[in-house]
């Protein structure tokens, strides 16, 4: 009796891992969790104070569907200053997290059976959200040689008369790869020519180990017109549980997104919106500190991984993950179905370390580990990975 759309959904590998971790922890086992996509830092105090003050002022009632005015104004200032994009508050819709922004945007843009292009490897929820809105995910194959970034020819090959949008995650989860300005220009040119919208998920833009990050909407006015930039406060200001994100787009798309949001959730939590406002106004120095810490961790984890035989990895230039190629170990492990799933499941069972199988991102020869945790935790986890791999021979 349930909706047919549920039949198409893939079970969440990450939720499966979390439930297994809980079971092991209940047995008092010393579990190392490197599967997490959540910073281990807290929300900066100065941001929290804005939330507390808003509660004390009883700002707890219904407000504008697209977000509170001061937050939208601050987002526009940020987009101009940091991303070189001019938007007005009418172009912004604040929602309950980047995931919610993506769902709203796809609902606003797609008709049933429209195709949405998704480069592999992808963030786990993209294909599922596309299916939920009754559109069709079409995967773009990329190559390791190009750090899994799409090239013009990869993109062109996948376009059909039904293609409606491309989801571009930059910096990328799981690879940490970042597109150059030239690469983005090529993507814009093809999308513009073929009437394809670009859903630019830039949630990791602040966690960037390169000097300059380019927002695709800043490439040109044409780029800005076809791009819906999606961003949020989960990764930069650690507000994962406060659920806040936003879209920046042309005002007619913003209006469409607003209609959908108005009839589904009205607007995101007012307190979270004030905290996000505080984060934008006052917390850039906190963010710099988090990023400096990630930089140190990245160096440490990469050095440690360099010393392990039979694996290689994509050097991350953004986000807080390392995507590790385990294909050389394929012959040493017996498995039915997914190799990466078997690898991760054995690793968790024998060494109590949780990592995410590459199959969750569409590439079965890989695993993803996160360094959004304490140094002692990921160093111990990588030590155990070394021991696990050595145990094969
Ligand atoms: N986009 C990417 C690429 C992510 O990795 C995540 C979370 O892991 C999200 C979006 C979801 O962010 P939010 O917590 O704002 O919904």
Enumerate the domain spans of the chain: 5-42+285-390, 45-283
pLDDT of residue 36: 86
Judged against a pLDDT cut of 80, whether residue 393 lies above it is answered with no
Per-residue model confidence as pLDDT tens digits over 245-287: 999 999 999 999 999 999 999 999 999 999 999 999 999 999 9
The model scores a pTM over 0.90? yes
User: Could you tell me how far CA 358 lies from the centroid of its own chain?
Assistant: 15
Contact 203, 350 (CB under 8 A): no
Residues in the chain: 393
| Ligand 1 pocket member 268 (CB < 6 A) | no
Q: Which of 14, 18, 99, 247 to mutate to test the pocket of ligand 1 (most atoms within 8 A of CB)?
A: 99
Task: Report residue 280: phi and psi, to 5°.
Answer: -70, -40
Domain 45-283 -> CATH class: alpha beta
Beta bridge partners of 118: 139
| Ligand 1 pocket member 97 (CB < 6 A) | yes
ipTM: 0.99
Q: Which atom of ligand 1 is nearest to the CA of 38?
A: 8
Q: Which atom of ligand 1 is nearest to the CA of 101?
A: 16
Distance CA 370, CA 218 (A): 30
CATH 3.90.1150.10 fits 5-42+285-390, yes or no: yes
| Ligand 1 pocket member 207 (CB < 6 A) | no
Q: Which atom of ligand 1 is nearest to the CA of 37?
A: 8
Per-residue model confidence as pLDDT tens digits over 188-231: 999 999 999 999 999 999 999 987 899 999 999 999 999 999 99
In this structure, of 47-51, 169-173, 253-257, 346-350, the range with the lowest mean pLDDT score is: 346-350
Residue 205, number of CB atoms within 10 A of its CB: 22
Q: Taking the CA of residue 163 as centre, how many other CA atoms within 13 Å lie in the half-sphere pointing to its CB?
A: 25
For residue 203, the CA-to-ligand 1 centroid distance in Å is 7
Taking CA atoms only, the protein residue closest to ligand 1 atom 5 is 173
For residue 346 the two structure tokens come to 């054995």
What is the 3-state secondary structure of 248-302? ECCHHHHHHHHHHHHHHCCCCCHHHHHHHHHHHHHCHHHHHHHHHHHHHHHHHHH
């Amino acid at each position: 009796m349930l909706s047919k759309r549920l039949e198409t959904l893939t079970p969440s590998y990450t939720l499966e891992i979390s439930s297994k971790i809980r079971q092991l922890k209940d047995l008092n086992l010393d579990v190392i969790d490197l599967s997490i996509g959540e910073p281990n830092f807290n929300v900066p105090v100065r941001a929290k104070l804005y939330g507390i003050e808003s509660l004390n002022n009883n700002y707890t009632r219904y407000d504008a569907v697209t977000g509170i005015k001061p937050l939208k104004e601050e987002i526009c200032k940020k987009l101009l200053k940091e991303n070189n994009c001019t938007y007005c508050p009418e172009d912004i819709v604040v929602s309950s997290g980047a995931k919610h922004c993506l769902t709203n945007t796809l609902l606003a843009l797609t008709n049933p059976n429209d195709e949405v292009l998704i480069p592999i490897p992808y963030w786990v929820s993209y294909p599922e959200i596309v299916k939920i809105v009754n559109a069709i995910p079409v995967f773009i194959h990329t190559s390791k040689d190009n750090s899994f970034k799409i090239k013009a020819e990869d993109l062109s090959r996948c376009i059909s008369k039904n293609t409606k949008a491309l989801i571009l995650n930059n910096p990328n989860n799981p690879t940490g790869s970042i597109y150059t300005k030239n690469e983005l220009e090529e993507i814009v040119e093809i999308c513009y020519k073929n009437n394809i919208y670009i859903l630019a998920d830039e949630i990791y833009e602040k966690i960037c180990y390169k000097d300059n990050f380019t927002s695709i909407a800043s490439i040109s006015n044409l780029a800005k017109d076809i791009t819906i930039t999606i961003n949020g406060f989960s990764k930069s200001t650690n507000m994962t549980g406060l659920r806040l994100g936003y879209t920046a787009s042309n005002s007619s798309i913003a209006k469409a997104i607003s209609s959908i949001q108005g009839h589904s959730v009205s607007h995101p939590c007012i307190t979270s919106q004030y905290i996000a406002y505080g984060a934008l106004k006052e917390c850039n120095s906190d963010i710099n500190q988090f990023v400096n810490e990630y930089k140190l961790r990245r160096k440490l984890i990469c050095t440690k991984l360099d010393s392990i035989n039979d694996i290689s990895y994509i050097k991350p230039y953004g986000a807080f993950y390392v995507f590790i190629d385990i294909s050389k170990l394929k012959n040493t492990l017996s498995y039915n179905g997914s190799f990466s799933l078997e690898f991760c499941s054995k690793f968790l069972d024998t060494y109590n370390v949780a990592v995410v199988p590459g199959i969750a991102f569409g590439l079965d020869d890989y695993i993803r580990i996160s360094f959004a945790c304490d140094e002692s935790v990921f160093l111990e986890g990588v030590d155990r990975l070394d021991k696990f791999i050595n145990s094969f021979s």
